[in-house]
Amino acid sequence: MSSRPGKTAPRLILDILTYDPRYEKRAGRNILTDPPSHYDPTKPADRAVPVKNCKHMFMTKHEQSILPKPGILPDQETLYKVSSFCQKCRYHLDLIVDFHDYGVRNAPCPNKDFPLHHFIYQEEDPNEQDVYLDHNIPKTFRFQCSAKQCPANLRISIRPPRLKEQYIRLMTDRTFLRRRLESAKRIDPDRTDHMMARPIDGLDFLSSYMKDSLNPQKGKTRIPLLNRKFLVTYGRDCDEMLTEFGFTREVENNGNGDEICWYIPRPPAESDPLAGDNLRVMVEDVIAELSVLISDRADSEKQGVRNTVILPQPSQAEIERALGCLDYNKRIMARAEAKRATEEEDHPYYAGLGALGDFSDELILFAYDRQVETDPRNAAYYFECLQDLAIGRKSPVLEEKVQILASQGQTNRKEVAKAYGYFGIDPLHSTHLTDEIIIGTFRARLQDISPTLEEETRNMLRIVGQARQSSAILQEASNAIETYAQALSWLDISANTPDEFVQTMFTVKTEENPASRDIAVKAVELIAQHRNSERLRSFLINGKMGPEMDIGEAYQILGIQDRVAAIDPTVLVTTLEVQKQIDSDNIPRLEQAYRLICKERFGDAEGGYGAAAPEEPIETHPLDTWPVGCQNIGNTCYLNSVLQFLFTIRPLREMVLNFDNYKQECTPEAIKDKIVGRRKPSIEVVKKAQEFVFELKKLFHMMIQAPSPSVRPEVKLAFLALVKDAQGDPPTKTSPSKGLGVICGMPVMGPMPNPSKADELESKLGDSSVIDGAAMTGLSAVNGSDTQITDGPGQDDSSDKKDNANPFKDNLYEEAIDLDAIDIVSEPTKPDPPSRPPPVPPRPKAALQDSVSTTVEYAARQQDAAEIMMNIFDLFGCAIKPMGTMEDGEQIDLIKELFYTNITYARTTNGTTTLKSDIQDHILTSPGDKDRHIYSALDDEFDIDDLDDPTTRDGAKSTKYEFIARLPPVLIINVRRAVYNAKEEKSFKNERHVALDDTLYLDRYLESTKSMTAAQLLETRKEQWEYKRQLRALQRRKAELEQTALEMSLSDVVECAADYITDLKTADEELLVDLDPLPIEPGLAEQMRIKAHNLRKDSSLLDEPIRQLEERIESHFDGLKDHPYRLHAIFIHRGTATGGHYWIYIHDFKENIWRKYNDERVTEVTDIKEIFTQEEKWPATSTGIVYVREEGKDALTEAVKRDPAKPPSGDVEMKDISDEFANAEVIDGVPA
Ligand SMILES: [Zn+2]
Ligand SMILES: [Zn+2]
């Protein structure tokens, strides 16, 4: 809702009478349109009217006006126009009041409820505003009466004088006149009676010409230049002015040669007040201005003047009548008071209320009510105005109102300022903040404070809510949930959140704060009621979700009466779409009903929907030149990004399309030695994986052949790709729902970047909560049912815990490795604590009977693009046959060839180095604590680490570093965005920018390169490590000097302490009673100040060395360019650690363009900055970065691969097309 003050008609008129566009900049505000600044009683008031402003005396121009008739009220046909000009400054004012009613506005003020109009300035369009900088250009301001039923629409136009200063000078300045006489003598030497024109003549003659032009008469239209009076009065240097005023100049042959002559203006014959600015209006304006100028000349000059002054009529009464305030209710004042009132400016509080000092008390109250209603955010200020005026006017009526308001909780600015301050909001900025922002701030504060402070915090919010008259804020402050929207908001969910997850969030919220249980129940009740969900009702009663929707309910929801009549699939789709429009809050439920009916009718949960997708892309490209988009089938934007990426990797795509050639034979004998991700997959796992690849093949075919700009991935594909336990193991024995996070075949998830392995630092700090890193290694993502027993939600994490504790995890190819030693190298292995703090976000701990399944569903929601991709790699591994095996039996295949990096760990103890190898499907980096380059992020991963080694007796240190033994053609670098803060027990998103180059040189991370031997490269790396070590030391030192727990630097802390000591001493001296003397050393405070100064200096002295080291580190490998990789794709996430949206940018090397794949829309990125720079607020951030080897990039990637089928003609059924893509084998529905 907009919050904007207005002003009553009398106040507006007062402002019109003093508004002067010439001095607007000096005034600092437009007194017509900008609300007056809030009066601060401790400071002198701003002048309401800047000193220089003209106090206009407007005179009516009748020809241009449509004046109100006394005693006749406006009706819905009425339009008034008061056209006038100021007798002093000659500015023109047009005031148009339009009462035309276009609807409910049919009761113009003044009336019983609205004794005056209350006008609110309407924002003009910004183009028009720009010209306001020039005061010579007419300005128009539009106002609307704030009374809901009043049609009054007001336009105020202010135009500068027609007669510019230079024109007046041309006519009246004697220097010009003298010069004109000289030139007249030269031009027309035959005449001897030339006399200098008088200053008044130019004005007078011009006025005559103009008047003649309004009433043209024969013989009075043409003026020869050589006309005696004309020549000396205007000569030849007034041509510009005359032309501007509509005179035309002709050269005519009079028989004796050419003669120059002028014709007076030829304005339209009839005067039309609404015609706008035409020549007639201009002529009339000039005549009006000339009359002022002529009357201003000295009386002695006026002799013989033709245009004696006619007295114009003042406009003020007309303006007041037009605005309905000619005779409003004024207060009775003593004569002295009244005199003062006319001489002095009103108190600024009157302006604040949009009122005048002479208003009756009733009108003051009216003005107050209008202001509060139209500008509730400043209600506290208006209350203060009223409070003060009540006292100043000694008015019992106003006093009473003030008391009533105070008893209703209305507060004044001081209290409100305190309340805003409580939330860290500057009251000055509060008007610009929306209620939502304030509520958000309140909620954030609520999380930080102890429960004992909650009531106080709510009270503060209540004051703010009162002050702003905001019901949303008051509602929030009262902590009550009354509406569906509030219930959703309280549970942090949206209207699209399925019932299952409502239950999850209920559990999460009540776990966080058991005291909130009642309110949580209320929230779920409201949602159950709004959605008419039996399942949620059952959950409230039994603590368990009821059965899914039954088919009868489904028909009812879609409004289908006849359950036996035949239904055309496309009709059903239309029904669904229509219902979605009508009931957009219940889309998940409508879709569920739709699927249920489809399943019953067609044995297929998708029905005709797949073919009838209604999406229209924004850009259109010829189908055969542009990649297809993937429609979002339920928060699957991140899956879509992964699928689009995989599609562009040519060898992978070819493999999928020719899957039969790669398919793993599926017999117990054939897979008995198969190891994928260090696990032996069961037959079921392999079959499921093959089903996935098969589904992917169908999708790829569609992506190539679809006769449309986008395709719809099937739910089954999403299910297989997203649900890790798709092998068939139910996640828990007690879980009543099937699979993970799947509702009626739709994967349920709110994508978010998943917090990955806890940082080393965090582990050192004793934070034992380790965040799910399973998928980060990829190798452990597929939990073969025969190798792992899943028995609870914590299981995944405990296996990760081990991985994390062991820096040599997943060591597949050991060289010279002593296994025992490795275990010892690892950090002290402690047994997993029996119960661990909750991972992120906090998981429910079995508060409800089926909270276990809730937990599992919740976990499924947490998968991000990186995890999905790793899951898919494992599915591939299981689905395809090996090309060979590694030493430990792990399968070698195309996926490993394409994407896996071989990393070697080198560990050095007492001068002996041992090497071990491992494969990784990606490299994981951190964004760091400031924006930085990808090299810097990678450098950190490849830095040398000290290892605490408890085995070496002499306490010798072990170190380890890594190098890349083999680079894959396609290198995936994931960015760890979600960080878990153990102290606050919540995760947040690190939004630091990771700067990317189009080309990334990986030389420095290798063992050796063409130009560097292993020894040389290691030596170079060691130098950089040493620089980095020095840099860290300096940064630590800087942090010691700068950082304290008090959010001020150490030097400031010392300084403050010194001040405190000084204060103590002073207080001590001032005390009259003897106390125990405080043991303060003399001069201590002084010494501390010196110390503070030195600390500050020490800190700033570190800046230069830090900068130099940073520079050196950055440029250390500059020359190494043997292994260039080109940027191919970037996965992008926008949102928070708990949700958001994914898309991907993919480079087309062939066309040399970037495209943005945002679900069904694939668009060209026209401004490359979108990809390489980051917005400041709510930035979209990279979560995954893909580089491909420069050499062979064209064979590795291909962004466009299209062969669209002909669009279906009208008589071909939609079904046929999907059949074509179904590729022989049709799998119905979704695995149960
Ligand atoms: Zn004026
Ligand atoms: Zn009105």
Tell how far the Cα of 160 is from the centroid of ligand 2, in angstroms.
29
Tell how far the Cα of 376 is from the centroid of ligand 2, in angstroms.
19
Closest ligand to Cα 20? 1
| Rounded distance between C-alpha atoms, residue 530 and residue 1093, angstroms | 65
| Closest C-alpha among 950, 979, 980, 947 to residue 961 | 947
Tell how far the Cα of 122 is from the centroid of ligand 2, in angstroms.
15
Closest ligand to Cα 153? 2
Closest ligand to Cα 106? 2
Give 542-590 pLDDT, tens digit per residue. Answer: 776 655 667 777 777 777 766 666 666 667 777 777 777 777 767 777 8
Give 72-118 pLDDT, tens digit per residue. Answer: 888 888 999 999 999 999 999 999 999 987 777 888 999 989 999 99
- DSSP summary character for residue 103: S
Query: What pLDDT shows up at residue 341?
Result: 65
Query: What pLDDT shows up at residue 138?
Result: 79
Q: For residue 1166, with 0-12 CB atoms within 10 Å meaning exposed, 13-18 middle and 19 or more buried, which class applies? A: exposed
User: How confident is residue 694, by pLDDT bands cut at 50, 70 and 90?
Assistant: very high
Query: What pLDDT shows up at residue 530?
Result: 86
Query: What pLDDT shows up at residue 373?
Result: 92
Query: What pLDDT shows up at residue 1092?
Result: 85
Tell how far the Cα of 145 is from the centroid of ligand 2, in angstroms.
5
Tell how far the Cα of 143 is from the centroid of ligand 2, in angstroms.
11
Closest ligand to Cα 86? 1
Query: What pLDDT shows up at residue 775?
Result: 31
Asked whether the beta carbons of 681 and 586 are under 8 A apart, the reply is no
| Closest C-alpha among 585, 562, 387 to residue 496 | 585
Is the pLDDT at 669 greater than 80, yes or no?
yes
Closest ligand to Cα 151? 2
For residue 22, give both structure tokens.
């010439």
Tell how far the Cα of 357 is from the centroid of ligand 2, in angstroms.
20
Q: Helix H segments across 806-850?
A: 819-825
Tell how far the Cα of 273 is from the centroid of ligand 1, in angstroms.
22
Tokens 């892309």 found at: 617
Tell how far the Cα of 7 is from the centroid of ligand 1, in angstroms.
22
| Rounded distance between C-alpha atoms, residue 259 and residue 246, angstroms | 20
| Rounded distance between C-alpha atoms, residue 991 and residue 1180, angstroms | 8
- Residues with Cβ within 8 Å of 1232's Cβ and at least 6 positions away in sequence, in order, are 738
880: β partners = 663
User: How confident is residue 305, by pLDDT bands cut at 50, 70 and 90?
Assistant: confident
| Rounded distance between C-alpha atoms, residue 160 and residue 139, angstroms | 9
Per-residue three-class SS string for 1055-1104: HHHHHHHHHHHHHHHHCCCCCCCCCCCCCHHHHHHHHHHHHHHHHHHCHH
> In this prediction, what percent of the chain has a pLDDT beyond 90?
29
Query: What pLDDT shows up at residue 913?
Result: 86
| Closest C-alpha among 674, 645, 679 to residue 868 | 645
Tell how far the Cα of 19 is from the centroid of ligand 1, in angstroms.
9
For the chain, give the mean pLDDT. 77
User: How confident is residue 342, by pLDDT bands cut at 50, 70 and 90?
Assistant: low
Tell how far the Cα of 128 is from the centroid of ligand 1, in angstroms.
24
User: How confident is residue 733, by pLDDT bands cut at 50, 70 and 90?
Assistant: very low
Phi, psi of 900 (to 5 degrees): -90, 135
Closest ligand to Cα 143? 2
User: How confident is residue 820, by pLDDT bands cut at 50, 70 and 90?
Assistant: very low
CB atoms within 10 A of CB 4: 17
Overall average pLDDT of the 709-715 stretch = 83
Is the pLDDT at 1062 greater than 50, yes or no?
yes
CB atoms within 10 A of CB 572: 21
Closest ligand to Cα 111? 2
For 132-154, give one letter per residue: b (16+ CB within 10 A) or e. Answer: beebeeebebbbbbbbebbbbbb
Give 1031-1056 pLDDT, tens digit per residue. Answer: 999 988 888 887 777 777 788 888 88
Tell how far the Cα of 11 is from the centroid of ligand 1, in angstroms.
18
User: How confident is residue 697, by pLDDT bands cut at 50, 70 and 90?
Assistant: very high
Is the pLDDT at 1063 greater than 50, yes or no?
yes
Question: Which residues have beta carbons under 5 A from ligand 2 (an ion)?
Answer: 109, 117, 145, 147, 150, 152
Closest ligand to Cα 115? 2
Closest ligand to Cα 161? 1
Is the pLDDT at 1226 greater than 60, yes or no?
no
Is the pLDDT at 847 greater than 50, yes or no?
no
Tell how far the Cα of 375 is from the centroid of ligand 2, in angstroms.
17
| Rounded distance between C-alpha atoms, residue 1061 and residue 1059, angstroms | 5
Residue bearing the bigger pLDDT, 6 or 406? 6
Asked whether the beta carbons of 641 and 1142 are under 8 A apart, the reply is yes
User: How confident is residue 1218, by pLDDT bands cut at 50, 70 and 90?
Assistant: very low
Tell how far the Cα of 118 is from the centroid of ligand 2, in angstroms.
6
* Residues, the chain: 1232
For 231-263, give one letter per residue: b (16+ CB within 10 A) or e. Answer: bbbbbeebeebbeebbbeeeeeeeeeeeeebbe
- Residues with Cβ within 8 Å of 498's Cβ and at least 6 positions away in sequence, in order, are 588, 743, 746, 748
Query: What pLDDT shows up at residue 767?
Result: 33
Is the pLDDT at 45 greater than 90, yes or no?
no
Closest ligand to Cα 58? 1
Residue bearing the bigger pLDDT, 1077 or 969? 969
Tell how far the Cα of 148 is from the centroid of ligand 2, in angstroms.
8
Give 893-948 pLDDT, tens digit per residue. Answer: 999 999 999 999 998 888 888 888 888 889 999 888 888 899 999 998 898 888 76
Greatest Cα pair distance, the chain, in angstroms, is 131
- DSSP summary character for residue 344: S
Tokens 């105005």 found at: 385
| Rounded distance between C-alpha atoms, residue 242 and residue 565, angstroms | 85
Tell how far the Cα of 293 is from the centroid of ligand 1, in angstroms.
13
Interior CA angle at 677 toward 671 and 678, to 5°?
75
Closest ligand to Cα 93? 1
Stretch among 209-223, 381-395, 479-493, 876-890 having the lowest mean pLDDT: 479-493
Tell how far the Cα of 152 is from the centroid of ligand 2, in angstroms.
5
93 CB-side CA count, 13 A: 30
What's the Rg (C-alpha) of the chain?
Answer: 41
Closest ligand to Cα 19? 1
Phi, psi of 338 (to 5 degrees): -65, -40
Tokens 């300045």 found at: 173
Asked whether the beta carbons of 1200 and 650 are under 8 A apart, the reply is no
pTM of the model: 0.45
| Rounded distance between C-alpha atoms, residue 1160 and residue 615, angstroms | 8
Query: What pLDDT shows up at residue 2?
Result: 66
| Closest C-alpha among 194, 209, 95 to residue 152 | 95
361: β partners = none
Tokens 């005549």 found at: 287
The amino acid present at 276, given as its one-letter code, is G
Stretch among 244-248, 880-884, 1067-1071 having the lowest mean pLDDT: 1067-1071
Query: What pLDDT shows up at residue 952?
Result: 53
Tell how far the Cα of 341 is from the centroid of ligand 1, in angstroms.
22
Residue bearing the bigger pLDDT, 950 or 486? 486
Closest ligand to Cα 74? 2
Closest ligand to Cα 99? 2
Tell how far the Cα of 374 is from the centroid of ligand 2, in angstroms.
13
Tell how far the Cα of 847 is from the centroid of ligand 2, in angstroms.
60
Give just the sign of the alpha carbon dihedral 277, 282, 287, 291: positive
Tell how far the Cα of 358 is from the centroid of ligand 1, in angstroms.
24
Tell how far the Cα of 343 is from the centroid of ligand 2, in angstroms.
29
Give 1112-1139 pLDDT, tens digit per residue. Answer: 998 889 888 999 999 999 998 876 665 5
| Closest C-alpha among 1090, 1084, 1047 to residue 1064 | 1084
Overall average pLDDT of the 368-397 stretch = 91
Overall average pLDDT of the 1156-1176 stretch = 85
Tell how far the Cα of 322 is from the centroid of ligand 2, in angstroms.
11
User: How confident is residue 347, by pLDDT bands cut at 50, 70 and 90?
Assistant: confident
- DSSP summary character for residue 581: H
Tell how far the Cα of 79 is from the centroid of ligand 1, in angstroms.
25
| Closest C-alpha among 794, 604, 750, 686 to residue 1229 | 604
Tell how far the Cα of 10 is from the centroid of ligand 2, in angstroms.
12
59: β partners = 85, 314
Output the CA torsion 798→802→803→808 (10° steps).
180
Tell how far the Cα of 55 is from the centroid of ligand 1, in angstroms.
6
| Rounded distance between C-alpha atoms, residue 54 and residue 160, angstroms | 13
CB atoms within 10 A of CB 358: 18
